[in-house]
Chain A
């Protein structure tokens, strides 16, 4: 399935290959099931389970306090779970096991670097802990510094870095040992727009390189941009899971196609009434708004009708129902509540 989505930041059209076709046959890197964690009376995570395939980016979308960090702390082997099981690359993960941890790259929400060490020293320390061979460590550090854009600042102490640079190094440490599963816990919190975009692009590249990524966020836009599948989590429970489209369809939302027209908008509206998938059409001066089920599927037919009607098209925008509205529908509250 190919869909066209508008990327507002770059003002261009992107073509995205949906994961159900591209990655559906891949093996699961992460499998977790029945995860439970309570802190005294508070059940922070309640029977959470999901899987992530090789090369897949999986999002945990939920507001602050939803249980995202607790979930990934258990998956990373940092926090003991009260119940449940975590398998990464076929190896069980608990707080007592160590074998499987090398398969995981963990990027905590808070910046976790040593300020009195340089970026290179930070990377070298964690590289040694993860058992990267000595002859491989130096070149790998250079590679990671290149990827995170800190090659020219690698020998500076990180206390001299900007917040964005620290964030990038924070991610770089997680990437250093080339993990099968990269876990990113809200990596863009408190980051300037430029660094944020850089981080998101890095995550996109990781997915393309075959790394499985578990990405937690409470930013709907990030989940929509990065994640092949998303789990909506709230109150420690996963409320729904699937691709963005699956989630949207779950709550019966429709796409909106906005056409910029040159010529008679009313003529076009009349002709489009023959297209059965169209649910609602609204004409305005120089534009037509169309509510439709499956815009990507119907859009070619809409453009064809416009051409037959002799109406020029100056622009096309497809607005899909977003995860914010899905979250609102499922939990009764907004993501940033």
Chain B
């Protein structure tokens, strides 16, 4: 163990001296986190407001309830703004011009048809360039009509007996809240604000570059011809690998801790429970260490290792959602992102940042440690070549 620390101390002094570790471990991630946090608005505070109009050719009870009860309630939530248009043609033209998000067109006899148990259709004309806002407008109507449809039979029966009316339906629809809640693809986990997201994302992204300094330095020892000298020294030869691991670990942890502190004070990132964050950091460093070691053992030269490691670090970083929130991508991306330590780290950080306790880091930490165990096991198959003089 003593020899490992001697080797690590030497490696660290070399890395500090050539400034590469400082650049990739501190300057680049902090700089990018600051830049991203400054130029990209907070995704958690994005507001999608649809400008809608209603053309009521029906004049019946159901359309009137939608216009008079549902839309004002949704408008009060800030999701919709209802504008007045006198005709369907005028409103449709406004949608095409982009001045209106969507227009609801209730056909004549709509309410009568539904109340008599028949079928009816509401037309929505939406702006394709504002897909999210159009979807909000559609979702509001869908939810209302689904509720009308679900309770239709009961309402019909109740109305015949005088026990309920359309107002009851409206009230129940609004109470359900379903019409105004957008589905959250990350609903099972808490989301990070933009500042914390980019701070954590850049920290874990550059962690893989920082950690590779230690791992790849074993190849540098061979390149310099010093590896045989180390192997001939009165030390256990595993101390050499241990020294490289200590170097990677110290660089990785130091980089992440410094970034966490710096982004907390400089841009107000909220990392959450410090102990939980540290556990995540340790697990993340171990995962990065294992993956970078696995990549390094297949390389023959330091340059080759650096190239391979850069490719893997960037690919995993992209897939792991360090540059954009996975909740804004397709669901399949969120699924495959779990094949990266980055996604687990950010998930744990999101939960901690959202106020959850230490239990939130258990699953992400175990997942990241599993990466370490598997990749180190694979890398150790090449241990003979790694320690060959």
The contact of A129 among B3, B224, B389, by CB within 8 Å, is B3
Q: Complex formed: what's the CA distance from A113 to B230 in Å? A: 11
Whether B164 is near chain A, meaning CB under 8 Å from some CB there, is no
Q: Inside 8 A of A110's CB, which chain B residues have their CB?
A: 225
Q: Inside 8 A of B233's CB, which chain A residues have their CB?
A: 101, 126, 129-130
Measured CB to CB, the nearest residue on chain B to A173 is: B229
Whether A104 is near chain B, meaning CB under 8 Å from some CB there, is yes
Q: Complex formed: what's the CA distance from A125 to B6 in Å? A: 7
Whether A81 is near chain B, meaning CB under 8 Å from some CB there, is no
The contact of B225 among A77, A95, A112, by CB within 8 Å, is A112
In angstroms, how far is the closest chain A Cβ from the Cβ of B231? Answer: 5
Q: Complex formed: what's the CA distance from A111 to B224 in Å? A: 8
In angstroms, how far is the closest chain B Cβ from the Cβ of A137? Answer: 12
The contact of B232 among A101, A116, A121, by CB within 8 Å, is A101
Q: Are B234 and A125 in contact (CB under 8 A)?
A: no
How many residue pairs link A and B with beta carbons under 8 A? The number is: 68
Whether A138 is near chain B, meaning CB under 8 Å from some CB there, is no
Whether B383 is near chain A, meaning CB under 8 Å from some CB there, is no
Q: Inside 8 A of A131's CB, which chain B residues have their CB?
A: 234
Residues 208 to 242 of chain B near chain A (Cβ within 8 Å): 224-226, 228-237
Whether B14 is near chain A, meaning CB under 8 Å from some CB there, is yes
Q: Are B226 and A114 in contact (CB under 8 A)?
A: yes
Q: Are A115 and B224 in contact (CB under 8 A)?
A: yes
Secondary structure at the A interface, as helix, strand, loop or mixed, is loop
Q: Mark B27-56, 1 if CB is under 8 A from A, else 0.
A: 000000000000000000000000000000
Q: Are A98 and B234 in contact (CB under 8 A)?
A: yes
Q: Complex formed: what's the CA distance from A76 to B232 in Å? A: 6
Q: Are B234 and A106 in contact (CB under 8 A)?
A: no
Whether B18 is near chain A, meaning CB under 8 Å from some CB there, is yes
Q: Inside 8 A of B229's CB, which chain A residues have their CB?
A: 106, 108, 112, 126, 173
The contact of A78 among B3, B18, B228, by CB within 8 Å, is B228
Q: Complex formed: what's the CA distance from A102 to B236 in Å? A: 12
Q: Are B17 and A116 in contact (CB under 8 A)?
A: yes
Q: Inside 8 A of B13's CB, which chain A residues have their CB?
A: 117, 121
Whether A73 is near chain B, meaning CB under 8 Å from some CB there, is yes
Q: Are A108 and B10 in contact (CB under 8 A)?
A: no
Q: Are B6 and A95 in contact (CB under 8 A)?
A: no
What is the size category of the interface that chain B forms with chain A? 20 to 34
Q: Are B14 and A78 in contact (CB under 8 A)?
A: no
Measured CB to CB, the nearest residue on chain B to A76 is: B232
Q: Complex formed: what's the CA distance from A176 to B237 in Å? A: 20
Q: Are A98 and B232 in contact (CB under 8 A)?
A: no
Q: Indicate whether A104 sits within 8 Å of B10 (C-beta atoms), given known contacts A114-B226, A129-B3.
A: no
Q: Indicate whether A73 sits within 8 Å of B3 (C-beta atoms), given known contacts A102-B234, A116-B18, A129-B230.
A: no
Residues 73 to 113 of chain A near chain B (Cβ within 8 Å): 73, 76-79, 95, 98-102, 104, 106, 108, 110-113
Q: Inside 8 A of A102's CB, which chain B residues have their CB?
A: 234
Q: Are B6 and A98 in contact (CB under 8 A)?
A: no
Q: Inside 8 A of B3's CB, which chain A residues have their CB?
A: 129
Whether A273 is near chain B, meaning CB under 8 Å from some CB there, is no
The contact of B235 among A98, A108, A111, A121, by CB within 8 Å, is A98
In angstroms, how far is the closest chain A Cβ from the Cβ of B155? Answer: 82
Q: Indicate whether A78 sits within 8 Å of B232 (C-beta atoms), given known contacts A112-B225, A116-B17.
A: yes
Q: Are B232 and A113 in contact (CB under 8 A)?
A: no
Measured CB to CB, the nearest residue on chain B to A117 is: B14
Q: Inside 8 A of B237's CB, which chain A residues have their CB?
A: 95
Q: Complex formed: what's the CA distance from A31 to B233 in Å? A: 19
Q: Are B226 and A130 in contact (CB under 8 A)?
A: no
Q: Are A104 and B14 in contact (CB under 8 A)?
A: no
The contact of A99 among B6, B18, B224, B234, by CB within 8 Å, is B234
Q: Indicate whether A113 sits within 8 Å of B6 (C-beta atoms), given known contacts A78-B389, A102-B234.
A: no
Measured CB to CB, the nearest residue on chain A to B230 is: A129
Q: Mark B1-34, 1 if CB is under 8 A from A, else 0.
A: 0010011001001100110000000000000000
Q: Are A108 and B228 in contact (CB under 8 A)?
A: yes
Q: Complex formed: what's the CA distance from A95 to B14 in Å? A: 28
Q: Mark A22-42, 1 if CB is under 8 A from B, else 0.
A: 000000000000000000000
Whether A128 is near chain B, meaning CB under 8 Å from some CB there, is yes
Q: Are A108 and B224 in contact (CB under 8 A)?
A: no
In angstroms, how far is the closest chain B Cβ from the Cβ of A98? Answer: 5
Q: Indicate whether A104 sits within 8 Å of B232 (C-beta atoms), given known contacts A79-B389, A114-B224.
A: yes
Q: Indicate whether A113 sits within 8 Å of B224 (C-beta atoms), given known contacts A106-B232, A129-B233.
A: yes
Q: Inside 8 A of A111's CB, which chain B residues have their CB?
A: 225
Q: Inside 8 A of A112's CB, which chain B residues have their CB?
A: 224-226, 228-229
Q: Are B234 and A130 in contact (CB under 8 A)?
A: yes
Q: Complex formed: what's the CA distance from A128 to B18 in Å? A: 23
Q: Are B228 and A128 in contact (CB under 8 A)?
A: no
In angstroms, how far is the closest chain B Cβ from the Cβ of A104? Answer: 7
Q: Considering residues A78, A114, A125, A126, which has the most beta carbons from chain B within 10 angstroms of its beta carbon?
A: A78
Residues 155 to 186 of chain A near chain B (Cβ within 8 Å): 173
Q: Indicate whether A129 sits within 8 Å of B228 (C-beta atoms), given known contacts A79-B389, A98-B234, A117-B14.
A: no
Can you name 25 A-B pairs with beta carbons within 8 Å? A76-B228, A76-B232, A77-B232, A78-B228, A98-B236, A99-B234, A101-B233, A101-B235, A102-B234, A104-B232, A108-B225, A108-B228, A110-B225, A111-B225, A112-B224, A113-B224, A113-B226, A114-B14, A114-B224, A114-B226, A115-B224, A125-B6, A128-B6, A129-B3, A130-B234
Give B residues with C-beta under 8 Å from A: 3, 6-7, 10, 13-14, 17-18, 224-226, 228-237, 389
- Give the top 5 A-B pairs by smallest Cβ distance, nearest first: A112-B225, A101-B234, A110-B225, A102-B234, A106-B232
